[in-house]
Structure 1
Amino acid sequence: MSTTGGTQIHELLVADEDAGQRLDSYLAKVLEIPRVLAKTLFKDSMVEVNGRVVTKPLKVRAGDALRVSIPPQSDPLEIRVIAVEDLKIIADEDDYVVIDKPVGVAAHPSPGWVGPTVVGALMAEGYNISTSGAAERQGIVHRLDVGTSGLMVVAKSERAYTGLKRAFKERTPKKVYHAVVQGLPDPLEGTIDAPIGRHPGHDWKFAVLEGGRDSVTHYEMLEAFGRASLVEVHLETGRTHQIRVHFSAFGHPCVGDQTYGADPNLGAALGLTRQWLHAKRLGFNHPVTGEWVEYESEYPHDLAGALELLREGGY
């Protein structure tokens, strides 16, 4: 990256594994900028592909040479320092902190989000976290949806940020989720291998799409309750809304997940106001020592209560 008059100039070469992505999605991921900012760059003629200015986000090809100019932002995303009472510290190491994120908390600030964030909550608790990455994403090496609870690791040191960011890119951490999905999956154990892309009709949703990004979800059924089942999910990839999209496309949306087609009556009967989805276990190599470490989280009250109702029967 170079800087001219406050404008950042990025020159990028598209790798084979990134071919086929929409250019705005690719820029948001690689440059760690909000997607809404990536879109405005096209309108302002700030993106060149192979020496030619492009004004709409076409799909990138392997070997494409990109030149992206990002002018100074007059209204950068602000990190609001807000304490989150239900946020639990699972492990506090010199280089990282592992948290149990409650529902209703975003990983970091984003356009349109005015609620609490993991970054702001940790600052409110006095944590000094890594300043690597985009300003609003300090220390964030992976994310959970606002409506998904469970384990996240946040880098406190620069060396931890570098090591953990690389690990998640290379898919070496173990991410285990528990989900309650509608119906009984058939087979009871298997793999959903289906590409995921942004929904063509809804900018805030995703879908299984031809030409989408490679997405692989492994699952096994733990308990069956008639109208729903508790499954354990192992993610091989980490696409946005991956579990929710895959199980919806499979005909078994997460209970309570009306965004992806869940029965609203069942969710209401179980007292759910969000999808039954929890990041249960997280394991990774320590970013400094290389030692394998693993952490586990208990179900929060709303998910535990819904699960108890299912076990009692009548649903």
Structure 2
Amino acid sequence: MKKKNRWLIMLDKLNMTIEEQTGRIDKAIVEEFADFSRSQIQQWLKDGFVTVNGEVVKSNYKVKAGDEIEIIRQAPVELKIEAEDIPLEIVYEDDDVVVVNKPQGMVVHPSAGHASGTMVNALLFHIKNLSSINDVVRPGIVHRIDKDTSGLLMVAKNDEAHESLSKQLKDKTVVRRYVALVHGEIPHEKGTVDAPIGRSKINRQSQAVIEGGKPAVTHFKVLEKFEDFTLIECQLETGRTHQIRVHMQYIKYPIAGDPLYGPRKTLPGTGQYLHAKSLGFVHPKTGEELYFEADLPENFQEILKTLNK
């Protein structure tokens, strides 16, 4: 089994241990940690903020198994995360877990471009306790969905629950089913896309199916066919960034409304017609199997009615 590089993330320092050969150091870092751009890593290398085994290296350095990489980052801009009285649809809540139905258009957690109005800001208002594993910017956040993808997310209220849910994601035991409207009429009733995903070499803001990318598997089945469109259900076996969007584009059935991976302005609305409809996991404390479903948002239902006509 292919080993993964190990990361320890801190506020101003990041340590990485290479456990296998991964080529240039800038490429190795950026492919493993998608929140950084390659140009940002190259600038840090140029400024001497990156060392390998205690020595400053250039961006063309080829990493080797056993290399200890350390990045001393400049102090990040401090984000003041405030609780905000934003409506939030809480599907389920107990002392350990919260399940939220996130609306389309809402960012999951604050970032430099989204300091407020996020799901985390809303959670801080509605929920008393959240896990601390993912620092002050992402309290309770176990997994994410894109801003313009709607649907179900599980949130941890304490660190023990967070560790359990994260392990279930890693072990691929969490049930995650999505409903998507895609361009084209898929001729068969079901299929599987097994294609590795990594950062695109053409557009660094997007992901793509690339050689040497991380393993990614998406299963899908056809729910309904329309003229020039197909409604499908997708089940994730892995959870790569933009996985369903990338895989459906790869097999030439891009998701309708997707501004990054599909034709633009073919249907009314903003953002992709992709909804995280089903979520199932084992309760971290009781061991009970929990399963939830969320109806398609109104704009999604309306576009299906229009296509039916």
For Structure 1 versus Structure 2, the TM-score category normalised by the shorter chain is 0.7 to 0.9
Letter in 2 for 1:67: I
CA contact (8 A) 2:282 2:289 kept: yes
Letter in 2 for 1:47: V
Structure 1 equivalent of residue 233 of structure 2: 232
Moved more, 18-27 or 162-171: 18-27
Unaligned runs of 5+ in 2: 1-6
Q: Could you tell me how far apart the structure 2 residues matched to 1:194 and 1:7 are?
A: 35
Q: Provide the identity percentage.
A: 37
Residue 50 (structure 2) pairs with residue 25 (structure 1): no
Normalised by the length of structure 1, the TM-score is 0.84
Distance 1:133 1:291, change over 3 A: same
Q: Could you tell me how far apart the structure 2 residues matched to 1:184 and 1:195 are?
A: 24
SS in 1 for 2:277: strand
Q: Could you tell me how far apart the structure 2 residues matched to 1:283 and 1:205 are?
A: 28
Normalised by the length of structure 2, the TM-score is 0.86
Residue 295 (structure 2) pairs with residue 290 (structure 1): no
1:191-210 aligned at under 5 Å gives the runs 191-210=192-211
Q: Could you tell me how far apart the structure 2 residues matched to 1:163 and 1:126 are?
A: 20
SS in 2 for 1:258: coil
Q: Could you tell me how far apart the structure 1 residues matched to 2:60 and 2:167 are?
A: 27
| Larger helix share, 1 or 2 | 1
Q: Deviations over 1:62-108 (max 9, x none)?
A: x34323243562523442433332x2000011111100001111111
Q: Deviations over 1:151-186 (max 9, x none)?
A: 001111110111112221222211100001011224
Structure 1 equivalent of residue 18 of structure 2: 14
Moved more, 287-296 or 222-231: 287-296
Structure 1 equivalent of residue 302 of structure 2: 305
Q: Could you tell me how far apart the structure 2 residues matched to 1:231 and 1:58 are?
A: 45
CA contact (8 A) 1:147 1:274 kept: yes
Q: Could you tell me how far apart the structure 1 residues matched to 2:160 and 2:60 are?
A: 34
Letter in 2 for 1:96: V
Letter in 1 for 2:45: F
TM-superposed deviation, 1:202: 2.0
Q: Could you tell me how far apart the structure 2 residues matched to 1:75 and 1:68 are?
A: 20
Q: Deviations over 1:42-76 (max 9, x none)?
A: 34433334554334387866x34323243562523
Distance 1:173 1:79, change over 3 A: same
Unaligned runs of 5+ in 1: none
* Matched pairs, number: 298
Q: For the aligned residues, what is the CA RMSD?
A: 2.9
Q: Deviations over 1:2-53 (max 9, x none)?
A: 9xxx96463x43356x957943335636xxxx42697364344333345543
SS in 1 for 2:249: helix
